[in-house]
Amino acid sequence: MPASCRRSCAHGSRPPTRWRRAKTAVGDFLVAVVASTDDVEQLQSAALRRSLITAGCAVAVMLFFGALILREQRRSSTLATRLRAAQELAQVRERSDKILENAPLGIVGISRDGRVVFANRFLRRRLGASAESAADAGTAVPPVLAGWLADVREAVGRAFAVGQTVTFQGTDVPTSVHAMRDIEAHVVPLSNPIEGVDALVLIQDLSDFRALQRQLIRAEKLITVGALSAGIAHEVGTPLMVIRGRAEHLLEAAPGAPASRDLAAIIDQIDAITGTIRQVLDFAHPQRIEAQPADAAAVAARAADLLAWRFDRRRLTCSIVAAPATPKVRADPQQLTQVFLNLLSNAADASPDGASIRIALRAEEAAPARFVRIEIEDHGQGIAPENLSAVFDPYFTTKPVGEGAGLGLTVVAHIVRSHGGDVALRSTVGVGTTAAVLWPAAA
């Protein structure tokens, strides 16, 4: 570019000019670069604003997503905590439900108006409801329970009124529910009701305790009676021997005298009394057991032969049936014979004339031991249900006065149990009685 032009441009009103050398194929040239300062500043300002806006947007986006991530993390942590708490609560609830269901006492949840909310398995079984009902414990409530709670509403109302536990027994309240008589109940009001349950009724079964009490009282009486009987037997035995000796002497001195029959009857009755005394003494002083393998069927046949005169007098038949492979028993032969004699005598006394008595023997497995089951069956009048629980008690008898001492079955039970076995009676009035003996088999 000419110099005049350069000067003109330099002194003109144009913006400042910057020169740059440019090489081309035809030569070197100077190129003038002209730019406005305002435009450049505006461009720079615009570029700066765009940069700042872009950076601000990026920071805002990062903050937004960071806050979102943080919130989700907090929410996830809260949900995880709630889930753990819910699982722990469910485990506690399941554990408490199992404890309530399997507790060895009755537990009832009731509302303040006396409505049954739930009843556990122990109580449902006691009152006859199905323990495996498809419904839950809260709905499978025995209907009689509502009636029983109505009978004891006075005790329940007193517990709510005083806010303390009230205890009563089944015999303290008049109720028509027989299964709730041998119980002890505790009404426990809750300070913080749970799911409609304002109070718990805890019911303890006292039937086993009462039965044990009765057994202890009866045992004490039997011990006293046994001691007195043994003493009386010793005291009576000596005078009886004197009376029998004098009667025998008179009978031998005048065998054909008119009083000979009376003397013979006196001797027979003294022998009967002596036999009773011997039973009392044997019961008071148990004999030593000398156990050995014994054939129970052979012993039963020998006992039946000893009682043949009684069977023949009343036309009774006695049959013995032993199952194949019936093992021998481990027993003292003399005491085993005594068991058969006592049981067969009872069967003969209970049977009508011309009846039959059956003795059955068979092997029976009862882990961890092996036994021989002996059953003696008669077809007599049977035993009343209320007497079955007392037939093994000393001096208990259903025979008329003077016909039995009430020691036969007591001696049988003592001998059998001292050998490690067991004895029981099954009886139906008007049909007959079966004495079942479970005797340990010989090794």
| Sequence-separated (6 or more) residues with CB below 8 Å from residue 351 | 314, 316, 357, 378, 379, 380
Structure tokens at 187: 């009404």
Examine the pLDDT at 103 and tell me if it is beyond 50: yes
Examine the pLDDT at 376 and tell me if it is beyond 90: yes
Q: What is the pLDDT of residue 121?
A: 81
Q: How confident is the model at residue 415 (pLDDT cuts 50, 70, 90)?
A: confident
Examine the pLDDT at 10 and tell me if it is beyond 70: no
Q: What is the pLDDT of residue 235?
A: 76
Q: How far apart are CA 362 and CA 437, in angstroms?
A: 11
Examine the pLDDT at 372 and tell me if it is beyond 90: yes
Q: What is the pLDDT of residues 69-92, one digit of tens each?
A: 888 888 888 888 888 888 887 777
Contact 303, 340 (CB under 8 A): yes
Q: Which of 63-67, 88-92, 368-372 has the highest mean pLDDT?
A: 63-67
Q: What is the pLDDT of residue 129?
A: 55
Structure tokens at 344: 């067969």
Q: What is the pLDDT of residue 356?
A: 92
Structure tokens at 338: 């005594």
Q: How confident is the model at residue 173 (pLDDT cuts 50, 70, 90)?
A: confident
Structure tokens at 372: 């021989």
Q: How far apart are CA 343 and CA 336, in angstroms?
A: 11
Which of 76-80, 113-117, 364-368, 433-437 is the least confident region? Answer: 364-368
Examine the pLDDT at 404 and tell me if it is beyond 60: no
Q: What is the pLDDT of residue 49?
A: 86
Examine the pLDDT at 2 and tell me if it is beyond 50: no
Q: What is the pLDDT of residue 281?
A: 64
Examine the pLDDT at 198 and tell me if it is beyond 70: yes
Average pLDDT over residues 89-106: 74
Residue type, 56: G
**What b/e sequence results for 31-69 when a residue is b if at least 16 CB atoms lie within 10 Å of its CB, and e otherwise?**
eeeeeeeeeeeeeeeeeeeeeeeeeeeeeeeeeeeeeee
By percentage, how much of the chain surpasses pLDDT 70?
Answer: 79
Q: What is the pLDDT of residue 357?
A: 93
Examine the pLDDT at 421 and tell me if it is beyond 50: yes
Structure tokens at 33: 């670069």
| Sequence-separated (6 or more) residues with CB below 8 Å from residue 192 | none
Phi-psi region of 262 (alpha: psi -120 to 50; beta: other; left: phi over 0): alpha
| Sequence-separated (6 or more) residues with CB below 8 Å from residue 301 | 320
What H or E segment, with its residue span, contains residue 332? none
Dihedral over Cα of 146, 147, 149, 154: its sign = positive
- Helix and strand numbers (H, E) in the chain are 12, 14
3-class SS string, 259-283: CHHHHHHHHHHHHHHHHHHHHHHHH
Question: Angle, to 10 degrees, between the axis of helix 260-284 and the axis of helix 207-253?
Answer: 150
Structure tokens at 186: 């505790």
Whether the bond between 368 and the residue before it is cis, its omega within 30 degrees of 0, is yes
Please name which of 189, 205, 198 lies closest in space to residue 117, comparing C-alpha atoms.
198
Average pLDDT over residues 187-198: 86
Average pLDDT over residues 283-299: 79
Token pair 């043949």 in the structure block, residue: 308
Average pLDDT over residues 351-375: 87
Average pLDDT over residues 429-435: 89
Q: How confident is the model at residue 133 (pLDDT cuts 50, 70, 90)?
A: very low
Which of 29-38, 134-143, 284-293, 305-314 is the least confident region? Answer: 134-143
Q: Which of 32-46, 216-230, 429-443 has the highest mean pLDDT?
A: 429-443
Which of 75-84, 125-134, 225-234 is the least confident region? Answer: 125-134
